[in-house]
């Protein structure tokens, strides 16, 4: 254990709250990539975790002070709904997420109008509020691990109030290049970079994102921040436990029946602009058009589920995803065969079942901080599944050698990669799957946490 007591802070905490029919507060473990990554390393350690109160049930939980449940000690920061929407929907998800993933349709978006500037003020206030809460509750000489793009401004405000406290910021997203950063107004870009660089150290999943952040700081601030690289790990024990569950066994039987002995391509993703879901289906369409012998022989299992539906862009993207599925299925279906099997239910056990059975796992984001599913797949897969992996994902650094690489905008190239994966001789599949498994389990969530602690401790000394 580290010398300094740890505190974690993130927008979404490791517990989710609900109010039951009797009006009582019910607590359970939350889902989501960050909760899994960070939670896997922290559950049972007694570490204090500060998170935002996202809805009515959370706000009620916040009133009770620290909640102890599922091995976590959680304090929730209460925010009113309008402030939260401005901070979360408009700035974090509607601006910074788009910035770091390069998702903007620049002739149209972003629009920094007076409504946006008002939301930016709310974002700053929420970051200040998190800092104030931490200043209040962090133990003496604590090391505070600030998680992700929602909270870039916490470190400097916290250090000003509590010079004894050390801080680390970790980004689970990519980071914008200096050229892309110019889309932000100067004062916003400056405050964002100064905020992040004002932590003891800034961590990223890939050296590429750390380098981009460093280049931005050099160009805008004229100084290099302290950075480190530490790719997150999948929680192998946790997903193996899910794989052994009855829910997973049932889902697996259902899926096997649907596939009916055909070859199986799988993707598991939130319906997220950066995940490149539409081009994945267009590549499958081109595969069927150009390699007719796969018609009737392959099923594409698309386990993609709605996300961030409070943003119009995500609603539109979901419609496009569903439209392209309909188009591809209308073009190629036969009475015996549906090319794309689409299930929009967010069901982790069903996703794990699909990852077990996949002969090809397609992970083709246009840009991704890491992409944890590319590690989860090989851990549970039982078919020597081939990983078709975008070189624009952070996890490419670790898994690229054992995966088949693809260029996310190249639909023809992706179709060829799918063909190569399906046609791969058994020996090569086995060999690659073994290497993938070894690479995917080479690090644990505790290794990741240890890197953050080491970086924060070194920076504070």
Nearer to its own copies, 199 or 367 (CB): 367
CB 75 within 8 A of CB 50: yes
Return contacts of 252-261, CB within 8 angstroms, 24+ apart: 252/353, 252/356, 252/357, 255/301, 255/350, 255/353, 255/354, 255/357, 256/357, 258/299, 258/301, 258/341, 259/299, 259/301, 259/341, 259/357, 260/299
Nearer to its own copies, 29 or 295 (CB): 295
Site residues for its own copies, window 198-237 (CB under 8 A)?
A: 212
Nearer to its own copies, 178 or 400 (CB): 178
State how far the alpha carbon of 165 is from the alpha carbons of 124, 140, 146, in Å.
Answer: 21, 7, 12
Does 306 bind its own copies (CB under 8 A)? Our answer is no
Does 279 bind its own copies (CB under 8 A)? Our answer is yes
Q: Which stretch binds its own copies (CB under 8 A): 271-279, 336-344, 349-357, 428-436?
A: 271-279
Residue 404 neighbours by CB under 8 Å, 6+ apart: 386, 387, 388, 389, 417, 420, 421
Distance from C-alpha of 325 to C-alpha of 317, rounded to nearest angstrom: 12
CB of 153: closest distance to its own copies in angstroms? 20
DSSP structure class, residue 95: I
Does 322 bind its own copies (CB under 8 A)? Our answer is no
Nearer to its own copies, 16 or 414 (CB): 414
Does 407 bind its own copies (CB under 8 A)? Our answer is yes
CB of 346: closest distance to its own copies in angstroms? 20
Nearer to its own copies, 174 or 203 (CB): 174
CB of 277: closest distance to its own copies in angstroms? 9
Does 411 bind its own copies (CB under 8 A)? Our answer is yes
The partner residues of 48 in beta bridges, in order of sequence, read 7, 73
Of the candidates 207, 366, 450, 459, which one interacts with its own copies according to CB under 8 A? 366
Nearer to its own copies, 112 or 337 (CB): 112
Distance from C-alpha of 232 to C-alpha of 221, rounded to nearest angstrom: 28
Of the candidates 29, 85, 124, 182, which one interacts with its own copies according to CB under 8 A? 182
Site residues for its own copies, window 73-112 (CB under 8 A)?
A: 102-108, 110-112
Distance from C-alpha of 130 to C-alpha of 195, rounded to nearest angstrom: 13
Site residues for its own copies, window 105-164 (CB under 8 A)?
A: 105-108, 110-114, 116-117
Distance from C-alpha of 394 to C-alpha of 370, rounded to nearest angstrom: 4
Helix axes 445-460, 33-42, angle to 10 degrees: 80
Sign of the alpha-carbon dihedral angle for 381, 401, 418, 370: positive
CB 149 within 8 A of CB 97: yes
Distance from C-alpha of 103 to C-alpha of 350, rounded to nearest angstrom: 29
Does 270 bind its own copies (CB under 8 A)? Our answer is no
Nearer to its own copies, 2 or 344 (CB): 344
CB of 119: closest distance to its own copies in angstroms? 12
Q: Which residues bind its own copies (CB under 8 A)?
A: 102-108, 110-114, 116-117, 177-180, 182-186, 212, 273-274, 276, 278-279, 282, 286, 289-290, 317, 320, 366-367, 392, 407, 409-413
């Amino acid at each position: 254990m580290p010398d300094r007591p740890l505190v974690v802070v993130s927008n979404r905490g490791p517990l989710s709250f609900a109010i039951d029919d009797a009006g009582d507060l019910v607590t359970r473990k939350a889902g989501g990539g960050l909760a899994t990554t960070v939670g896997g390393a922290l559950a049972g350690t007694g570490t204090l975790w500060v998170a935002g109160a996202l809805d009515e049930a959370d706000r009620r939980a916040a009133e009770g002070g620290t909640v102890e449940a599922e091995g976590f000690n959680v304090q929730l920061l209460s925010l009113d709904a309008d402030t939260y929407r401005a901070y979360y929907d408009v700035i974090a998800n509607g601006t910074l997420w788009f910035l770091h993933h390069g998702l903007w349709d620049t002739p149209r978006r972003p629009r920094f109008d007076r409504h946006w500037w008002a939301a930016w003020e709310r974002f700053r206030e929420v970051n200040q509020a998190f800092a104030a809460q931490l200043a209040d509750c962090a133990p003496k000489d604590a090391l505070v691990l600030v998680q992700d793009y929602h909270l870039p401004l916490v470190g400097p405000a916290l250090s000003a109030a509590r010079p004894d406290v050390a801080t680390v910021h970790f980004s689970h997203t990519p980071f914008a290049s200096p050229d892309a950063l110019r889309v932000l107004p100067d004062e916003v870009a400056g405050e964002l970079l100064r905020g992040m660089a004002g932590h003891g150290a800034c961590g990223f999943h890939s050296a590429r994102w750390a380098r981009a952040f460093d280049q931005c700081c050099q160009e805008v601030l004229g100084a290099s921040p302290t950075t480190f690289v530490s790719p997150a790990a999948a929680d192998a024990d946790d997903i193996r436990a899910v794989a052994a569950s009855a829910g997973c066994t049932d889902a697996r039987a259902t899926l096997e029946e649907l596939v009916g002995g055909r070859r199986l391509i799988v993707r598991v993703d939130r319906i997220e602009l950066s995940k490149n879901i539409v081009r994945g289906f267009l590549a499958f369409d081109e595969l069927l058009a150009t390699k007719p012998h796969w018609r009737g022989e392959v099923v594409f299992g698309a386990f993609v589920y709605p996300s961030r539906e409070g943003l119009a862009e995500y609603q539109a993207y979901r419609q496009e995803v569903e439209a392209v599925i309909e188009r591809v299925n209308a073009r190629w279906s036969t009475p015996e065969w549906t090319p794309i099997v689409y299930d929009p239910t967010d069901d982790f056990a069903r996703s794990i079942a699909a990852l077990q059975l996949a002969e090809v796992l397609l992970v083709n984001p246009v840009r991704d901080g890491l992409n944890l599913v590319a590690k989860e797949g090989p851990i549970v897969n039982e078919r020597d599944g081939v990983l078709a992996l975008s070189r624009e994902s952070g996890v490419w650094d670790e898994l690229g050698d054992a995966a088949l690489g693809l260029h996310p905008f190249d639909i023809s190239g992706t179709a060829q990669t799918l063909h190569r994966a399906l046609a791969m001789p058994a020996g090569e599949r086995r060999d690659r799957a073994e290497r993938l498994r070894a690479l995917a389990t080479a690090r644990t969530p505790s290794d990741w946490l240890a890197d953050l602690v080491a970086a924060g401790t070194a920076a504070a000394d």
